[in-house]
Chains A and B, each alone.
Chain A
Amino acid sequence: MSAELPCKLKASDYKSNTKPVWCPGCGDYHVLLSLTKAVAQIGLRPEEIAVISGIGCSSRIPAYLNCYGFHGVHGRALPLATGVKVARPDLTVICAGGDGDGFSIGGNHLLHACRRNIDITYVVMDNEVYGMTKGQPSPTTAPDWDSKIAPGGTGISPFYPLVIALASGANFVARAFSGDPNGTAKILVDAITHRGFSFVQILSPCVTFRPDQRGWKKQVHPAPVTPTSDASQAARRVMTDDGFNIGVLYKGSRKPYRQTVGTEIRFDRNLDEEFLV
């Protein structure tokens, strides 16, 4: 982040003038709102933010922000973001995408991004469906959810992304709800300012393929406990809660990934010398 004073832009100043392709009513509109509120609150300069995404409805978000962005290929947002952050530690890097992009094709990268504890914030807009490709089950979909590609349901249990993140070493884990933009904004500020890998799962209903998610608004509730610094305790909570606990669940103190490209030359090697016989 810039050493200068926080800049005083309004949340709406962080929006670009590109009109989103999302269906009207998509939860991601409120995620966008939360994100803009969050970065406005921190006072980041738009040009110092890089929003990196993969492919999917949620992954369209970089273009809707007035920041630097990269809409990469499916599932590879985290390595892309890692490269950006290592090359440019001065930037605030926010990685974004959906549950399909992040947990299916991107699942492997989630593990290792958490392990590295790279200082970025990863926002997954979880709607328990592949929206962009018109409604297939995702790794967070219930086993009995009927779809064309898996009539009667996949029969496969969803996994717990928050627990995986905890087990892999994420330094900050939270669950949010898109229908609560202020609450989400607060969690995002916390996530962005917390050093290391911050993972925020935002339940963001899909108005087109998951109309049943209208009910989420009534089901979400603030987590009844304060965030813990004990990863196993946090994992246990997540594995035993109703899936609608909202709030920061875990805050760790692992050192963030150290390797970065800098201007400092550690040692002026004469490379030729080592080959000289």
Chain B
Amino acid sequence: MSNTPESYSPSFSMAELLVHALVIELEAVESYKDLAIQMKQCGNDEVAGLFEKMSELEAGHAAKIRDIAGDIELPELAPWEYRWPGMESPETVDLAGIHYLMTPHHALKLALENETNAMAFFDAIANGCTDERVCSLALEFANDERQHVAWMEDWLANYPEPDAAWDDDPDPPAAID
């Protein structure tokens, strides 16, 4: 299941596809970086490291997309002008799923969800577009994401679901102000 509904079938130009693909990665870079900081602040170094790695991976993807874009002039859009399925990029994290005691299992599940959503997004574009070149690139992006999904699944396999008491903190929250 992804956050791209069946009905989503936009018609993108090449430049539009590229800018959407790029922004997915760039926002993911910042998002994972931010999550890494959140984890680090709570001493959850393992997951912090995971999120840092994700951020780096996404940065790599972004660089790849920039290369593909080459000299093509990408449109400058306001954050709400992107034609995502919803208001947000498919890889936008639901913060409600974040917990200071989250384990690598949870973090990878989150990353897997992101990649799944991104894959579904590009698949939808590939299916719905009319320009062959755009279709082809969208499919390429979708396949990249499929690969990422596979990697995430493998990675996740190393971290089975933790026991039920994973979020049990014997200490109460602190009031600092």
Residue of A nearest to B37 (CB): A19
Q: Contact: B98 with A207, CB < 8 Å?
A: yes
Q: Contact: B80 with A185, CB < 8 Å?
A: yes
Residues of B within 8 A of A23 (CB): 100, 173
Q: Contact: B96 with A207, CB < 8 Å?
A: yes
In the assembled complex, B24 has its CB within 8 A of some CB on chain A:
no
B46, chain A: closest CB distance, angstroms: 14
Residue of A nearest to B41 (CB): A19
With A25-B96, A27-B95 already in contact, the answer to whether A208 and B42 are too (CB < 8 A) is no
In the assembled complex, B160 has its CB within 8 A of some CB on chain A:
no
In the assembled complex, A255 has its CB within 8 A of some CB on chain B:
no
Residues of B within 8 A of A78 (CB): none
Residues of A within 8 A of B88 (CB): 180-183
- Give residues of chain B (56-101) contacting chain A, Cβ–Cβ below 8 Å: 78-80, 82, 84, 86-88, 92, 94-100
- Give residues of chain B (93-133) contacting chain A, Cβ–Cβ below 8 Å: 94-100, 102
In the assembled complex, B177 has its CB within 8 A of some CB on chain A:
yes
Residues of A within 8 A of B39 (CB): 24
- Count of CB-CB pairs between chains A and B under 8 Å: 93
- Give residues of chain A (188-216) contacting chain B, Cβ–Cβ below 8 Å: 189, 205, 207-209, 213-214
In the assembled complex, A122 has its CB within 8 A of some CB on chain B:
no
Residues of A within 8 A of B94 (CB): 179, 217
With A181-B79, A182-B79 already in contact, the answer to whether A132 and B99 are too (CB < 8 A) is no
A180 to B94, CA, bound (A): 9
Q: Mark A7-49, 1 if CB is under 8 A from B, else 0.
A: 0000110000001111111110110010001000100000000
With A132-B176, A134-B172 already in contact, the answer to whether A183 and B80 are too (CB < 8 A) is yes
Q: Contact: A24 with B177, CB < 8 Å?
A: no
A190 to B108, CA, bound (A): 37
A60 to B41, CA, bound (A): 15
Residue of A nearest to B34 (CB): A29
Residue of A nearest to B77 (CB): A41
A209, chain B: closest CB distance, angstroms: 8
Q: Please report A residues at the B interface, Cβ cutoff 8 Å.
A: 11-12, 19-27, 29-30, 33, 37, 41, 55-57, 59-60, 132-135, 178-183, 185-186, 189, 205, 207-209, 213-214, 217
A–B Cβ pairs within 8 angstroms, 25 of them: A11-B30, A19-B41, A25-B96, A25-B99, A25-B100, A27-B95, A29-B95, A30-B95, A37-B79, A56-B177, A59-B177, A132-B175, A134-B175, A179-B96, A180-B87, A182-B84, A182-B87, A183-B87, A185-B79, A189-B78, A207-B98, A207-B99, A208-B173, A209-B173, A214-B96
Q: Please report B residues at the A interface, Cβ cutoff 8 Å.
A: 30, 34-35, 37-42, 44, 78-80, 82, 84, 86-88, 92, 94-100, 102, 172-173, 175-177
Contacts A132-B176, A183-B80 known; list 7 others, CB within 8 Å: A25-B95, A29-B95, A180-B87, A182-B87, A183-B87, A186-B79, A213-B96
